[in-house]
Amino acid sequence: MKCPVCNKGKLEKKKVKEYMFGIYLGEFPAEICNSCNESFIDSINMKKIEKIAKQKGIWGLEMKTKIARTGNSLAVRIPKRIVDFLNLKEGESAYIHPEENKLVVETVKNQ
Ligand SMILES: [Zn+2]
């Protein structure tokens, strides 16, 4: 079968390691394009991935938030589910830096 993305490569059946938010979910059968490397996973395996992500408590952890003003700075509201998932506490320190168009917040847990 021809790749629907690049229209050049052929799709080959392989197993791919799936990650969500850096957390390993397992290996799943997929069809990989031998030209552009795009992977295609069927709906049955997408359901399996969803189920595992739900079991790990990470399904739906990507969410929309608001940027608010506090004095001269801006503050990003962190939704409760992410607070609980990362066990964040008010007053803790964190490092932030831009990464292309992303804002990366690294928590600093006391050792
Ligand atoms: Zn392709």
Dist. CA 55 → ligand 1 center (Å): 32
All domains in the chain, ordered by first residue: 11-55 (no CATH), 67-107 (2.10.260)
Q: DSSP letter at 9?
A: S
Please, which residues bridge with residue 94 across strands? 107
Res 111 pLDDT > 80: no
- The token duo for 6 is 């690049």
Q: Give the pLDDT score at 8.
A: 95
pLDDT one-digit tens code per residue, 3-15: 999 999 999 999 9
Distance from residue 46's CA to the centre of ligand 1 (Å):
20
Neighbours of ion ligand 1 (CB under 5 A): 3, 5-6, 9, 33, 35-36, 38
The pLDDT value recorded for residue 65 is 95
pTM for the model? 0.73
Phi, psi of 74 (to 5 degrees): -115, 150
DSSP state, 85? H
